[in-house]
A and B are shown apart, each in its own frame.
Chain A
């Protein structure tokens, strides 16, 4: 049982898919300018990874190894279409913000990576835990980046102003504080992730490369 809980807890910190395994950065960073989009993206990936890992794990004995990549891609693509249609139906505004990045969950390397490394060799229950754990590890980074970019960039969280009104000059703005519009531009996402990696590796020296 302790082993099973490690499957969920490890990816959150010392084996994080983004900062340690370097997987799944592709679709992650472009949409983190707002916290809400980051949360929705994390939930979508959580769904796709949890279900996908179970499906692949159940089919692991009948997929010929030569065409396994295509088989995996079809499973992910089907799940992503479900996510895309659900988003279009219930959160149309958000699905416009996420635009093609929902589709890019298909080629999110975390998903393929976990299919290859774990689901093809383990039972459905453990694969499910592994999928959930890695998706949470991915989501945590996304949410941290989204939190700082939205807070420093537009002074809001989930669209609610938390630092006062920039036009009326209330709250922090009365002291001369200004929003840093630069945080909203895409390059800052990379730099924020770079800083997260820096903090994480300073705290845990074992992770340092070279």
Chain B
């Protein structure tokens, strides 16, 4: 149940593009045609599914306060979490390079369709964002981390597929000249994001609260997230203080 919940939450409610604006650069640049959008989307799912669990292991066994205790009692007080940015991005850049080499070697056809997008992905905010949110939301197990990686990848894939399809159609409509291209894409994305907010009540069960509550449910989810994050940073602080003592 936990897995199903996290899976749908990461696809719809915490959708990378519509809820947190991650990966917007490639989302806007590569969404002119559906076929390229599918290629990039598939590559994002693939890379997220590899890097999120890998960074989860790094976080659990090296970076977190006290994570080094498996080396011996004298390492238990180490806190390397300030290194997490550099470790995560190094892992991502290396993994992307490695995946590129492996795919090129074993599946040239897959390489031809995914290959050109892989270098783009190393600097895609969605990938680093996936790892950072995994860290800040304290995903509990390796399985859940894998689940989260795949889920948010699929969410990103859906978003870029939808906008690419809309942009292919919108070429035939009469958009004000100054809005053509980038401007209208921004506004459409905004409208789609408003639509996606209605998924906010999906896991809380909108029925018993009545339909009038539905609108505020989305807002509440966001606020809850913020609160949770706040609570977490506070507990982090306490932990750090205890360690210092």
List the one stretch of A53-61, A128-136, A150-158, A187-195 in contact with chain B.
A187-195
B12-25 interface code vs A (CB 8 A; 1 in, 0 out):
00000011111111
Whether A194 pairs with B190 at a CB distance below 8 angstroms is yes
CA distance A199 to B93 in the complex (A): 38
List the one stretch of B38-46, B53-61, B65-73, B119-127 in contact with chain A.
B119-127
In chain A between 20 and 59, which residues have their CB closer than 8 angstroms to a CB of chain B? 22-30
Name the residue of chain B whose CB is nearest to the CB of A25: B24
Which residues in B have their C-beta under 8 angstroms from that of A73?
A: 89-90, 93, 122-123
Q: How far is the CB of B241 from chain A (nearest CB, A)?
A: 14
Which residues in B have their C-beta under 8 angstroms from that of A162?
A: none
Q: Do most interface residues of chain A lie in helix, strand or loop, or is the interface mixed?
A: helix
Which residues in A have their C-beta under 8 angstroms from that of B122?
A: 69, 73
Does B4 sit within 8 A of A, measured CB to CB? no
Does A80 sit within 8 A of B, measured CB to CB? yes
Whether A209 pairs with B180 at a CB distance below 8 angstroms is yes
CA distance A112 to B175 in the complex (A): 32
Q: How far is the CB of A196 from chain B (nearest CB, A)?
A: 9
Which residues in B have their C-beta under 8 angstroms from that of A25?
A: 21, 24-25, 28
Whether B125 pairs with A197 at a CB distance below 8 angstroms is no
Which residues in A have their C-beta under 8 angstroms from that of B222?
A: 185-186
Q: How far is the CB of B46 from chain A (nearest CB, A)?
A: 18
Q: How far is the CB of B117 from chain A (nearest CB, A)?
A: 14
Residues of B within 8 A of A (CB-CB), count: 56
In chain B between 44 and 94, which residues have their CB closer than 8 angstroms to a CB of chain A? 82-86, 88-90, 93-94
In this complex, the member of A23, A108, A201 whose beta carbon has the largest number of chain B beta carbons within 10 angstroms is: A201
Which residues in B have their C-beta under 8 angstroms from that of A185?
A: 194, 197, 219, 222
In this complex, the member of A80, A84, A107 whose beta carbon has the largest number of chain B beta carbons within 10 angstroms is: A107
Report the tally of A-B residue pairs with Cβ distances under 8 A: 152
Whether B179 pairs with A198 at a CB distance below 8 angstroms is yes
Does A170 sit within 8 A of B, measured CB to CB? no
Residues of A within 8 A of B (CB-CB), count: 49
Does A85 sit within 8 A of B, measured CB to CB? yes
CA distance A69 to B135 in the complex (A): 24
Whether A197 pairs with B183 at a CB distance below 8 angstroms is yes
Contact for A208 among B126, B132, B133, B180, CB less than 8 A: B180
Contact for B24 among A19, A29, A74, A96, CB less than 8 A: A29
Whether B179 pairs with A78 at a CB distance below 8 angstroms is no
Q: How far is the CB of B68 from chain A (nearest CB, A)?
A: 19
Contact for B186 among A74, A85, A190, CB less than 8 A: A190
Instruction: Show the binding face of B for A, using Cβ within 8 Å.
Output: 18-25, 28-29, 82-86, 88-90, 93-94, 97, 119, 122-129, 132-133, 135-136, 176-184, 186-187, 189-191, 193-194, 197, 219, 222, 229-230, 233
Please name the 6 residue pairs, one residue from A and one from B, whose CB atoms are nearest each other, closest first: A209-B181, A190-B190, A194-B186, A187-B193, A26-B125, A201-B178
16 residue pairs of the A-B complex, CB under 8 angstroms, read A22-B29, A26-B125, A29-B24, A69-B93, A70-B93, A81-B82, A85-B82, A96-B229, A103-B88, A104-B22, A108-B125, A109-B125, A112-B123, A190-B193, A201-B177, A210-B180
